[in-house]
Chain A
Amino acid sequence: MSHSDFAIETHGMTRAFAGVNAVENLDLAIPKGTIYGFLGPNGCGKSTSIRMLTGLLSPTSGDIRVLGETLPGAEEKLRRRIGYMTQKFSLYDNLSVRENLEFVAQIYGLNRKNAKLRIAELLTLYDLGGRQKQMAGSMSGGQRQRLALAAATLHHPELLFLDEPTSAVDPENRREFWERLFDLSAQGTTILVSTHYMDEAERCHGLAILERGIKRADGSPQQLMAAMGARVIEVSGDDLRTLKQSLITESAILSAAQIGSRLRVLVRSDIADPLAWLKPRVANRAMEEVRASLEDVFVTCTGERVGANSTLEADHVA
Chain B
Amino acid sequence: MWRRIFAIVVKELRQLSRDRMTFGMIVMIPLVQLMLFGYAINTDARHLPAGLVNLSDSAYSRALVQAVEATQVVDFQQRYVSVVEAEAAITRGEVKAVLYLPADLDERLVRHPAFAGQAYLAQPIGQWLVDGSDTVVAATFRSLRQMPLDEVAGRASKSSTPSFEVVQYFNPEQRSVVNIVPGLLGVILTMTMVMFTSAAIVREREQGNMEFLITTPVRPLELMLGKIVPYVLVGFVQVIIILSAGHVLFDVPIRGGLDSIALAAMLFICASLTLGLVISTIAKTQLQSMQMTIFILLPSILLSGFMFPYEAMPIAAQWIAEALPATHFMRMSRAIVLRDAQVMDLQFDALWMIGFTCIGLFIASLRFSKRLD
Contact = CB atoms under 8 A, between A and B. Distances in A.
A104 interface: yes
B217 A93 contact: no
Contacts of A89: 208
A91 interface: yes
Contact of A91 (B18, B212, B370, B371): B212
Interface string A39-60: 0000000000001001111100
A108 B209 contact: no
A96 to B, nearest CB: 9
Contacts of A109: 3-4, 217
A168 to B, nearest CB: 13
Contacts of A91: 209, 212
Contacts of A92: 11, 15, 209
A20 interface: no
A108 B216 contact: yes
B218 to A, nearest CB: 5
B320 interface: no
A79 B208 contact: no
A107 B19 contact: no
Contacts of A76: 217
Contact of A107 (B4, B207, B372, B373): B4
Interface string B198-214: 00000000011111111
Q: Interface extent on B, as a size class?
A: 20 to 34
Contacts of B211: 56, 84, 86, 88, 90
A90 B372 contact: no
B208 A106 contact: no
Nearest to A93: B207
- Most-contacted residue by chain B among A55, A82, A90, A99 (CB, 10 A): A90
A108 B19 contact: no
Given A86-B212, A94-B19, A106 B6 contact: yes
A12 B207 CA distance: 33
B216 A104 contact: yes
B371 A56 contact: yes
A197 interface: no
Given A58-B371, A95-B15, A108-B217, A90 B3 contact: no
B372 A51 contact: yes
A103 B11 contact: yes
Contact of B208 (A51, A80, A88): A88
Interface residues of A, number: 30
A93 B18 CA distance: 11
Nearest to B226: A107
B4 A106 contact: yes
A80 B217 contact: yes
B141 to A, nearest CB: 57
Given A56-B372, A90-B211, A107-B7, A79 B18 contact: no
A94 to B, nearest CB: 5
A75 interface: yes
Interface in B328-373: 370-373
Contacts of B216: 79, 104, 107-108
B79 interface: no
Interface in B169-190: none
Contacts of A51: 372
A90 B208 contact: yes
Given A91-B209, A92-B15, A95-B15, A56 B215 contact: yes
B142 interface: no
A94 B11 CA distance: 10
Interface string B1-44: 00110111011001100110000000000000000000000000
Given A57-B371, A104-B216, A90 B209 contact: yes
- Most-contacted residue by chain A among B18, B209, B373 (CB, 10 A): B373
Contacts of B372: 51, 56-57
Contacts of A102: 7
A155 B8 CA distance: 18
Contact of B214 (A56, A58, A99): A56
Interface string A62-79: 000000000000011001
Contact of B215 (A82, A88, A95, A106): A82
B15 A94 contact: yes
B7 A103 contact: yes
Nearest to B214: A56
Contacts of A99: 11, 14
B142 to A, nearest CB: 58
A58 B373 CA distance: 7
A97 to B, nearest CB: 13
Interface string B207-233: 111111111111000000000000000
9 contacts: A56-B215, A56-B373, A57-B371, A57-B372, A88-B208, A90-B211, A102-B7, A106-B10, A107-B216
Given A76-B217, A106-B7, 6 more contacts: A55-B371, A56-B372, A90-B209, A95-B14, A103-B10, A109-B3
Interface of A: 51, 54-58, 75-76, 79-80, 82, 84, 86, 88-95, 99, 102-104, 106-109, 151
Instruction: In the A-B complex, list the 3 residue pairs whose CB atoms are closest, starting with the nearest.
Output: A106-B7, A90-B212, A88-B208
